[in-house]
């Protein structure tokens, strides 16, 4: 079954000059869903990018299922983000993590479950069934990336450039209950170091679990 709302989250946050420390980036998120119901780490957590991890820390126990959660995410956000950029991050009902960084509504970086986060005004990502049997059992899926009037399709572990963007697909979307989110990375194509950083980040995210710490300081890995 799909993960309950108390096991998900959806935040936005703005990078400021004060966000950037010598060894980390710290922001303060707000719940994009606009309600006060319980979610994984509450409606207004601290978001910290540090030592290749994204650590999300609840600001209060009320409406927070866990004290903090963290995932391996690499250093792509540290390489890409600037003051004034906006971060979007989600944990979906399938348990996938997605994030994007926008600058004046233009995409700078997207990692993970990219179909579930804002990608700016010019980019649209859709996962499609490619082939189905008579009972609609999906045997293959593919990703369509559309930038303005141009589009491209990719499967798992494929890369491509379209317009000014570079995309890599780490894993495909798989339907089910709850199913598996497709994971990919998108970044600007002009910087080869950014391409590598974005690919590394989605690989780390896709190949590692989430660490959760409850309010009794007990740790879990899922």
How many angstroms separate the first and last alpha carbons of the chain? Answer: 16
**The tokens 């479950």 sit on which residue?**
113
Say if residue 134's pLDDT is above 50.
no
How much is the pLDDT for 34? 80
- Tens digit of each residue's pLDDT (9 = 90 or more) over 12-70: 999 999 999 999 999 999 999 887 778 899 999 999 999 999 999 999 998 899 999 99
Q: How far apart are CA 62 and CA 41, in angstroms?
A: 9
Give yes or no for a cis peptide into 178 (omega within 30° of 0): yes
How much is the pLDDT for 203? 98
H-run or E-run covering 101: strand 97-103
How much is the pLDDT for 62? 86
**pTM, 2 dp:** 0.93
Mean pLDDT in residue range 132-148: 75
- Tens digit of each residue's pLDDT (9 = 90 or more) over 161-213: 999 999 999 999 988 888 899 999 999 999 999 999 999 999 999 999 999 99
**How would residue 120 be classed by pLDDT, with cut points 50, 70 and 90?**
very high
Other CB atoms within 10 Å distance of the CB of residue 109: 25
Where exactly are the structural domains of the chain?
5-221
Dihedral sign (CA 58, 82, 90, 104): positive
Q: How far is the CA of 126 from the CAs of 113, 116, 182, 219, in angstroms? A: 11, 10, 10, 35
Closest CA to 25 of 99, 122, 130: 99
- Tens digit of each residue's pLDDT (9 = 90 or more) over 77-114: 999 999 999 999 999 999 999 999 999 999 999 999 99
């Amino acid at each position: 079954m799909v993960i309950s709302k108390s096991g998900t989250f959806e935040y936005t946050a703005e990078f400021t000059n004060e966000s950037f420390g010598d060894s980390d980036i710290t922001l303060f998120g707000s719940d994009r869903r606009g309600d006060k119901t319980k979610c994984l780490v509450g409606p207004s957590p601290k978001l910290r990018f540090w030592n290749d991890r994204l650590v999300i820390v609840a600001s209060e126990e009320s409406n927070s299922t866990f004290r903090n959660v963290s995932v391996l995410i690499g250093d792509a956000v540290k390489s890409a983000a600037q003051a004034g950029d906006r971060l979007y991050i989600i944990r979906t009902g399938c348990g996938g993590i997605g994030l994007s960084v926008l600058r004046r509504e233009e995409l700078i970086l997207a990692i993970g479950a990219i179909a579930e986060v804002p990608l700016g005004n010019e980019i649209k990502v859709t996962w499609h069934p490619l082939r189905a049997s008579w009972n609609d059992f999906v045997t293959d899926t593919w990703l369509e990336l559309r930038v303005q009037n141009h589009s491209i399709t990719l499967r798992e572990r494929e890369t491509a450039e379209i317009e000014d963007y570079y995309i890599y697909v780490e894993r495909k979307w798989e339907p089910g209950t709850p199913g598996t989110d497709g994971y990919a990375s998108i970044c600007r194509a002009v910087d080869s170091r950014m391409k590598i950083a974005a690919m590394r980040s989605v690989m780390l995210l896709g190949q590692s679990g989430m660490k959760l710490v409850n309010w009794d300081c007990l740790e879990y890995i899922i």
